[in-house]
Structure 1
Amino acid sequence: MKKIWSSSILLMLGLMLAGCGNEQSNSGETAEKKTPNNTEPEIMTDNLGNEVEIPDNPKKVLASYLEDYLVALDVTPVAQWSIYDGESIQEYLQADLDGIPLIPHDLPYESVLEYEPDLIIIRDPIEQDMYDQYAQIAPTYVLNSSPTEWRATLEEIGEVLGKEEKAQSVLDSYKEKAKEKAEELAEVVEGESAAAIWMVNNSLFVVHPERSSGVVLYEDLGLEIPEVVSELSSDADWAAISLEELAKMNVDHLFFINSDGPNAEMLEDRLWQNIPAVQNEQVYEFGPETSWLYYGPIASEQVMDNVVESITNRVQ
């Protein structure tokens, strides 16, 4: 079991470190939408240039690794993303996805066929021959928006599903909550810095300030960016950082995603123990099952709650 879990963590690590390598070249574009008249089906042009006939009010949507957006839009997927026969799933969504069957992350043709979706939404560009196979099963739409831009992704999925108003409502609610939480934080830690660190397989990674949970920390909540983080040259969501570099980081609050468990040998290292945030007991630990490693409105809101609760509870 431990070996399988380690393998799943490695796969997750590969996904997180992919950075903008999987970003679409036209990430700033929106889908072209054609609605000739009220009696004809809606046609949308996807990332691959396919003109996709979007079914009206689809009931069995397959959108692997996009379940966060479906849940936010009140859509129940026909199956949910998983790796290694369910050893790793998006745990932070299970309050809404409990009981939803699993599908392998690489979407084997036979598995997709088994669930008989009436619409398939694909997060990243795929080879045309694979697209053609999926399109034989159901209308298949490859997103134009960048996977690192969750707001644009939500808007596009909302458009595909005919839930534009719901998507806008989610965005408006998030914006208002972020404003309130940023003001709440400013009252207790104005001008203080934070960083998110992920430990996996005895290696450390720091979140990019413009990616994933980094956006929540710095853009949404207004925490200061440590100099080491602001100088990152990597475009990956999570950039490798040595323990020596981390020990030199002048950061007030450290959000620590620990995939190695409480007995990780790095936690016994003197360099780790001498980190100012560690000495000041301002390290807030979370497991890999939490939303810190993911994109989406639900993931971002959960991270926001984690940050505010951790800091306010510490300073009270």
Structure 2
Amino acid sequence: MFTLPKNLSWRLSQTQWHCFLLGLLACFWISACNGQTLFAPSASNQSVSQECQVVQHQLGETCVPFEPQRIVATDEIALEILLALDVKPVASGEPNLVSSRSRHLADKVAGVESLGKEEQLNLEKMVELKPDLILGFSVYSEYYPIFSQIAPTVSLNYTHTGWKEELRQVANILNKSEKAEQLLADYQVRITAFQAAMGNRLTQTEVSVARFYTGSQISEFRTRSSFPGSVLDDMGLARPESQNQSVKPDQTYIDVSLERLDLLDGDVMFAAVDPGAEASLKNFQKSPLWQTLKAVKNNRVYVVDSGYWIFGNILAANAILDDLFRYLIEESP
């Protein structure tokens, strides 16, 4: 298996890393010269390359085919956007921090090959799939020259609250802008319905989003600068005042120790639990301070899937909205 070693760029000096990249690129070139091509454009691919659109991105500019047919998504954000646009990639990377693809994508990823963890993609499999476009968010700059030897590569900038614009960016590259705008319009219709159902409770309900990790004694709350924070802002839901204080711009989360559980409190708490982190949540629940929280005393702590509550795009935003309808309206005390 031809993979990049995990965290290799952190373990090697800059000089060693550059030597590694040069050696790897040399392998691509030598293989091509020997007729054992890892990836060589066919005549048809060369023709397509002359009829492409130039896309500016954070690592440069790339000539992208007008109608790519075999897209590789390097990460789950790119995967989610492609699926939302009714474009099924041939393969994708999986999240680094959880065991597998998020469950809200489960019914959409059949037939999409896994390339392993986002930070350690299986390059051998990627080459075998012969992609005509590699698309990802914040592709490691060290990987970019390697990916570009395989197929045109586009690295878009990921921001937690800029997910709507990121959806539009990908849609524009793939000539799917009309589909993207329809997705966002449908999302807005659901927001309006949610706000109408909440009525006066909308601005009077303070919502906290906490995350629990596997094997960690620290939790965190997600700020308004985070992905779930942006979704809650779309809804018009209030956040606890304690969470609005001492938060720097663009700070997406604040660590919370057992001694500062008060920072997690709100009228409602959504506890986003990573796979296998149930023991971590239980450890917090054993604390006497946990029992003093307003959301706990009112039985309004709801355990949700961190796979779509912490990072995501339009599909994850709608999955969060599903939870908001369920817990704040349908099952509201």
TM-score range, shorter chain: 0.7 to 0.9
Counterpart of 1:183?
196
Amino acid at match of 2:56: T
- Using the alignment, how far apart are the partners of 2:202 and 2:84 within structure 1? 30
Structure 1 counterpart of 2:60, one-letter code: G
- The correspondence of residues 61-72 of structure 1 with structure 2, limited to 5 A, is 61-64=71-74, 65=76, 66-72=78-84
Q: How does 1:146-157 map to 2 (within 5 A)?
A: 146=159, 148-157=161-170
Q: Percent identity?
A: 25
Deviations 1:15-65 (A, max 9, x none): xxxxxxxxxxxxxxxxxxxxxxxx942222222232x21112211111222
Which residue matches 2:266?
Answer: 251
Supply the AA of the counterpart residue of 1:184.
A
Q: Judge conservation of contact 1:63–1:120 (CA < 8 Å) in 2.
A: yes
Deviation, 1:87, is 3.1
- Aligned match of 1:268: 286
For 1:83 and 1:136, the matched residues in 2 are separated by 24
Residue aligning to 1:25: none
Alignment of structure 1 residues 1-316 onto 2, 5 Å: 40-50=51-61, 52-64=62-74, 65=76, 66-82=78-94, 87-104=99-116, 105-106=118-119, 107-127=121-141, 130-144=143-157, 146=159, 148-200=161-213, 201-217=216-232, 219-234=233-248, 235-247=250-262, 251-259=266-274, 260-261=277-278, 264-288=282-306, 290-316=307-333
Tell me which amino acid in the other structure corresponds to 1:197: A
Specify whether residues 307 and 205 from structure 1 end up closer, same or farther in structure 2 by C-alpha distance, changes over 3 A only. Answer: same
Distance 1:110 1:299, change over 3 A: same
- Root mean square deviation, CA, Å: 2.5
Cα deviation for residue 158 of structure 1 reads 0.3
Unaligned runs of 5+ in 1: 1-10, 12-38
Relative to structure 1, is the Cα distance of residues 86 and 244 closer, same or farther in structure 2, using a 3 angstrom cutoff? closer
Q: TM-score, normalised by structure 1?
A: 0.79
Give the secondary-structure state (helix, strand or coil) at the position aligned to 2:179.
helix
Deviations 1:113-167 (A, max 9, x none): 132211111210532x532221111111121563541101000000111111111
The structure with more radius of gyration:
2
Paired positions, count: 275
